[in-house]
């Protein structure tokens, strides 16, 4: 079993697979961050962690969402590119304003399996898995929308090179 760390500040990297909501010791909303070889907790909500990661790359979550709308014509639960150069594309499982929203890294998903009670199991390429409170159909839709957005953005970047 891996050690679970308590971090003051999080850093989203290409190794980050999921950012999931978790209650803090004081009852607030924090995040459980699952990386390829590490797991840790931070005191910020998942959407705040994503916002801070976007800001590290010169934008904000809101700015990335506006960009996604412009590029893709999608309107809700927008996938975002934290950094297209390193392939960091994430999608929310619910509305990002919902405290139960998790953010999943598109590039780490190997398989999704439908579970009972509108839940879905996500199996990552490294063999780890998580269970999310989202229907299989909704999650598959988010994966496909993220792939579509990723393709559109990658094509735009290629056309400039």
pLDDT (mean) for 34-61: 93
Q: Report how far apart, in Å, the C-alpha atoms of 26 and of each of 6, 22, 29, 43, 65 are.
A: 14, 11, 9, 10, 31
pLDDT (mean) for 131-147: 97
pLDDT tens, residue by residue, 66-119? 999 999 989 999 999 999 888 899 999 999 999 999 999 999 999 999 999 999
**More confidently predicted of 7 and 52:** 52
Sign of CA dihedral 47, 50, 52, 55: negative
Q: In the chain, where are the structural domains located?
A: 4-160
């Amino acid at each position: 079993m891996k050690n679970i760390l308590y971090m003051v500040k999080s850093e989203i990297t290409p190794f980050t697979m999921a950012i999931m909501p978790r209650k803090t010791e004081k009852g607030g909303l924090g995040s459980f961050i699952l990386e390829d070889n590490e797991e840790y907790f931070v005191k910020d909500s998942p959407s705040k962690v994503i916002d801070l990661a976007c800001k590290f790359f010169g934008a904000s979550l809101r700015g990335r969402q506006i960009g996604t709308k412009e590029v893709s014509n999608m309107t809700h639960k927008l996938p975002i590119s934290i950094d297209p150069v390193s392939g960091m594309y994430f999608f929310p499982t619910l509305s990002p304003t919902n405290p139960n929203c998790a953010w999943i890294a598109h590039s780490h998903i190997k398989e999704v399996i439908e579970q009972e009670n509108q839940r879905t199991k996500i199996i990552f390429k490294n063999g780890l898995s998580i269970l999310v409170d989202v229907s299989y159909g909704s999650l598959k839709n988010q994966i496909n929308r993220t792939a579509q957005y990723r393709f559109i953005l990658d094509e735009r970047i290629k056309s400039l090179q």
